[in-house]
Amino acid sequence: MPLSHSAGAVLALLIAGAGVSAEAKTAGRPPTLLRSCTIEPPDLAPLFPNPPALLKGSAGKQADDDGDEDDDDTDDDDAEDDDDSPPAGFVSPGLGTCISISGTVNAGLQRDDYRANAAARATGLVPQAATSFPLSTTFRLETGRSLADGGYLATAFEFSIDTNSEGGNDVTIGEVSVTLGAFSTGLASSRFDFWTGDEFALIGRIPSRTVALIGYERPLIENLSLSLSAEDASVDQRVPLPRAGRRFPDGVARLLYEGDSLTLHGAVAVRDVPRIGASSLSGRAAILGVTWDGDVLGQSISLTGQIAGAVNAAPYIGSALDRRTVLSLLTGDETTRGWSGVVSLGWEWAKDWSSNAYVNRYRLTLSSSAGPAGEVQIDRASANLIWKPVKGLRLGLEGSLAWQRLDITGVPRAIGLSGRQSTAQVFIERVF
């Protein structure tokens, strides 16, 4: 993905932000050459604060709940806090800016097999069964500092290096962003997206959908926040699509509820779609996602469901795998209508052992001025087994099956992608 001029400007701000003196939140340790700190922006005040009586009742209920917790529950909460803790870093000597450096290295052995009908194989475009050794490396740099007026300035820069099918390396910018209070700008993940599939190695190696955005996010009431953003999704296209006639960036609005065990995500998007030799179209998309975390028979369970629909807004539906397959086949002069859905389950059935599984369905219909232009159908299922012997280290087995039917007029390459694909892999991942 090429880095635009605006992204370069944001990167310059990021580097400059790291060199400005300010306070940093430090851990209670004796002074050392490099003091530890965490990048933890203060919570913004809700736009509509709860009435005093409601706050008092909520505080009393919380105190009662805290008094009823036993030591085992406290230990479990502490373990969860470790997983969800803010980025830890160090205070730069003489500058006072908190800097956090992190990353992951994922290596594996992967086997891909393909089955297709005679018509598809006759094209000579069906991939051959192959064994590969994928290697992915992600590097992330974050900075944070408190301002004199009580605000908080945070910056982030992330990129990944992945091996490709030709034996070379692909470098992808994942994030270059600046956040000041409720406002954010730069390259970052779309506010529209919900389920990302990061628990699965096959999806995790694919760079997430990155957009150029200017966004505003603020709590409305306790646990409920509103996000408004202007986004340009074209920066993430693997094949450049026509931009002539484009008038506005995409507009995205999101409501997010985050409770103790329940998360609800609802978002809508509208977009201006340029076309070859024709006036632009109006596109729209909507998504609804929910995640529940709890205990079943003494085991930690996480259940996620998501459904999304789009008209002339194909980049907004499907998983990272679906988008990688489909978006490169679109020519830009067709109208589209489609939907996607996913159900994902994760469970920890032992101290160091966990498993994840998901199923998803993707449907997209294409039309042109001359009539129907094609249809895409993808069904996918995947499961894995993960062992975490020490903190920051994951070893796993993963399998995936995909049934694809791609029939797009004027795109012979789509026929070669139709059929059944099976993938099996072993992987090791180190987080630092």
Beta bridge partners of 292: 262, 303
Structure confidence at residue 78 (pLDDT): 47
Backbone phi, psi, residue 10, to 5°:
-65, -40
- Specify the pLDDT at position 370: 65
Residue 345: CB atoms within 10 Å: 15
Please calculate the CA angle 223-224-226 and round it to the nearest 5 degrees: 145
Tell how strand 98-115 and strand 419-431 pair up: antiparallel
Predicted local distance difference test score (pLDDT) of residue 17: 46
Please report where in the chains the tokens 């230990």 appear, as a residue.
Answer: 75
Amino acid sitting at position 210: T
Q: Please report the pLDDT score of residue 372 as a whole number.
A: 64
Beta bridge partners of 379: 361, 403
- Strand 36-38 to strand 169-180: parallel, antiparallel, or no bridges (unpaired)? unpaired
Distances (CA, A) of 298 to 76, 136, 348: 12, 35, 10
Query: Which pLDDT belongs to residue 83?
Result: 54
Q: Which residues of the chain have pLDDT under 50?
A: 1-31, 54-55, 58-59, 61, 63, 69-75, 77-82, 239
Domains of the chain: 5-28+31-49+85-431 (2.40.160.10)
Residue 420 to residue 401: CA distance in whole angstroms = 7
- Amino acid type, 390: V
- Output the pLDDT for position 164: 75
Please report the pLDDT score of residue 241 as a whole number. Answer: 54
